[in-house]
Every structure is written in structure tokens, then in C-alpha cells.
Amino acid sequence: MLLTMIPLVILIALVAGISGLWSNPDPAPVGSIDETLALEYDATVVDFPIRIPDAPSEWQPNSGQRVELEEDGGGTVTWIGYVTDDNLYLRYSQSGISAERLVEYHYGDASNIIGSETVDGTTWTLYRAGNNEPIWLADLDDVRIAMTGSATEAQFTTMAEAVMAAEPLD
């Protein structure tokens, strides 16, 4: 009985190989959004100043959302997600809610501070999200800015520089 199974296993492996089950297809193209248009609109409906950072041109803005929070007094978070030039992800968010609530929005624990980074004179507090990704947060008094994702530390720094260089929209 075992000898009759060997040709069957070889035949299945051959068919699977020919049909492409073991091939490595090209990844699908990254979706795209107009982050400037989205954030300009958000600036007309939220009660905190919006910044539109000049992200590197190689980064693809692929997602975004404005979320109305219902618990703990409400509030709004607006965010844009970018796929970096090396196919990593960075989400940039801004909100008028407290720093603690914004960290929790990104699945972090506000008591789990893992460090800080100072970029262009602004201190970013670093937290660890539940999925082990970093959360960088800057409290700019009238708005809290957060970043999270699989991006490298250098890419977080690049975005932090772009955020601080961006003037708040009126």
C-alpha cells in the first residue's frame, strides 16, 4: 500500500509545481490616496490644528481615516498611512485628545514609556504598542501627534522632521 502512495505523492507535487502554487507572485500595487486633500478637508471639520507633513516622495500614502471617538468624552483622530520606499508602514495621526488616549487608540499602554527622542527641538515620547511596534508621540499643547508602524527609526525621524516643519493649517 505504501508503494502505491509514492507515485501519487509525486504526481500531486508535480501538479502543484506546474500550477504555480509554489510560485512567488509579484506583490499587488500599493493603493493610493490624496493625503493633502484628505487633511485639508479634515482641517475644516476638526477642532485642532492640522499639519500636512511633506513626506518623502518615495513614500506612498495608501490609507487614511477620520475617527470620531465615542467613549471617554469623545474626540477625533485623523490619520494617514504611508508605505515607505522599502515597503514598510508608518501611520501618522493627529488629535486634540489627551496623549494617554491617543496612545491607547494605537493599542499602546500609556504607562509603558520605553524612551524618548528629540527631533528638531521637539521631544517625542516612545511607547510600545500591543503588536510590539513603536508609538512616537509629541504633545504640542493644542494637538497631539502620534506615529506608529513597522517603519525604521530613521523613517520615524524623517516623518517627525516633516511634521515639525509643516505649518498648521488655519
Confidence of residue 10 (pLDDT cuts 50, 70, 90): confident
Average pLDDT over residues 117-139: 96
Phi, psi values for residue 149, rounded to 5°: 140, -175
Name the average pLDDT for the chain. 90
Lowest mean pLDDT, pick from 12-16, 45-49, 140-144: 12-16
Q: Provide the pLDDT for residue 110.
A: 85
User: What Rg value do the Cα atoms of the chain yield, rounded?
Assistant: 22
| Maximum Cα interatomic distance, the chain, rounded to a whole number of Å | 79
For a pLDDT cut of 70, what percent of the chain falls above it?
86
- 74-114: pLDDT as tens digits: 899 999 999 999 999 999 999 999 999 999 999 888 888 99
Q: Provide the pLDDT for residue 73.
A: 82
CATH code matching the domain that covers 35-165, chosen among 3.30.200.100, 3.40.50.300, 2.30.110.10, 3.90.650.10 = 3.30.200.100
How far is it, in rounded angstroms, from Cα 104 to Cα 99?
A: 9
